[in-house]
Amino acid sequence: MPIHLIWGDDYEACNREIEEIIQTVINPSWKSFNYSQIDGNDPKQNFRALEEVQSAPFGSGGRIVLVRRSPFCNGCSIELANKLEQAIKLIPNNTYLILNNSNKPDKRLKTTKLIEKSIQSNSFSKEKSFLLPLPWDINGQRNLVKNILYKLNLKMNHETIDLIVESLGNDSSLINTELQKLSLLSDAVNKNLNTDRPREISKELVKKLIQNNSTNALEIANLLLKGEIIIALNKIQSLLKNGEPALRLITTLTGQSRGWLWVHLLDSQGNQDVKEIAKLAGIANPKRIFVIRKQIQDKSLETLLKLMKKLLKIEASIKSGTNPIDSFKDNLLTDSKILTNN
């Protein structure tokens, strides 16, 4: 009766973990019989999941019932909680229940305690969390890149990792996609390398892939900083229509905005050491500090904070499934005059 509790806002990492369990447990020939995915937002489907998980697998291999957006550790009805208590005792040894939610389990709940007790008593069960680093947590973002590099059997030096962080931020799905592209480019350039060993991705190769995106996004960021919202929106719309990934664009914009904020804050505290400022702000090239100082010299901290807040709202909106163009328009046009204030 293995139970896997997988939670966190890093959807890419959660999905990789779930996929690894599926590949380990399920016999591909019997997957249509032995794999069910349930939407936890639907109360009826949650009851169905608890019925299905009591069934032994057909044929060879194991059986998996996956509950996406699971309510069991974040608040469910008394009826569903009682059903879980009954069902958990009846799960066969080779049937797996996977509970997935972006939120941290509420340890005060009876259902959470029941599930965690079951996990602790079964060596095949486990709880794993995958959390994205916060936008200002540079070391956390570096570790995120390192973890994905390890999964893809790739490696980079510290400067190249910082370039990825500066360009792609904390979006693990986007980082994974771009690193896979870099892996293919590396294969094309180095055809005879031993693929068993981690392949080195050069800084030059990274620059080649992200240079155009960074140039366009930084131009848009500067327009937003100047308060030229309509011109910025036109450029955003053009980029998105030409196939630019919305998350990559907003990640670069938030990264630039974060750099402005850090430099403004550290300058206001009297810190003049550009190397230290660059390190704290997660900026790979300390020479950029001089450029940033010039860009923000007439901007108040309030203006920079409000711009950052808008960009983070856009990022959250896009990740929730809102049309990217609508996300940019709705947030940037609302009270846009604040971006022109000093």
Convert the pLDDT of each residue in 219-237 to its tens digit. 888 889 888 898 889 889 8
What confidence tens digit (pLDDT) does each residue in 280-295 have? 777 767 777 888 888 8
Residue 337 or 290, more confident = 290
Distance CA 19, CA 201 (A): 26
Strand (E) or helix (H) holding 63: strand 63-68
Q: What sign does the CA torsion over 31, 37, 43, 49 have?
A: positive
Confidence of residue 138 (pLDDT cuts 50, 70, 90): confident
- Rounding to the nearest 10 degrees, give the CA dihedral for residues 109, 114, 120, 122: -150
pLDDT at 212 over 90: no
The yes/no answer on whether domain 3-129 falls in CATH 2.60.40.150 is no
**pLDDT computed for residue 213 by the predictor:** 57
The CB-side HSE value for 285 (13 A sphere, CA atoms) comes to 9
pLDDT at 154 over 70: yes
pLDDT at 338 over 50: no
On the question of a common fold for 3-129 and 138-340, the answer reads no
Tokens (6 digits) for 308 = 């950052």
Q: What average pLDDT does the segment 310-334 reach?
A: 88
Q: Which of 87, 81, 88, 89 is nearest to 106 (CA)?
A: 81
Residue 36 or 214, more confident = 36
Residue for token pair 């163009």? 325
pLDDT at 188 over 80: no
Provide Rg for the chain, Cα atoms: 24
Backbone angles phi, psi at 324, to 5 degrees: -55, -45
**Range name among 16-30, 89-103, 158-172 with the lowest pLDDT average:** 158-172
Domain boundaries, the chain: 3-129, 138-340
**Range name among 29-38, 165-174, 245-254, 305-314 with the lowest pLDDT average:** 165-174
Tokens (6 digits) for 101 = 């939610």
Q: What average pLDDT does the segment 43-47 reach?
A: 92
Provide the percentage of residues in the chain whose pLDDT is more than 90: 37
Confidence of residue 62 (pLDDT cuts 50, 70, 90): very high
Q: What is the pTM of this model?
A: 0.65
The CB-side HSE value for 269 (13 A sphere, CA atoms) comes to 10
Query: Across all residues in the chain, what is the average pLDDT?
Result: 86
Q: What average pLDDT does the segment 49-63 reach?
A: 93
E-strand stretches of 88-233 = 95-101, 126-129, 154-155, 199-200
Distance CA 46, CA 36 (A): 12
Q: What sign does the CA torsion over 297, 301, 303, 308 have?
A: positive
User: Would you identify the CATH topology of the domain 138-340?
Assistant: Zinc Finger, Delta Prime; domain 3 (1.20.272)
**Range name among 153-157, 264-268, 321-325, 334-338 with the lowest pLDDT average:** 334-338
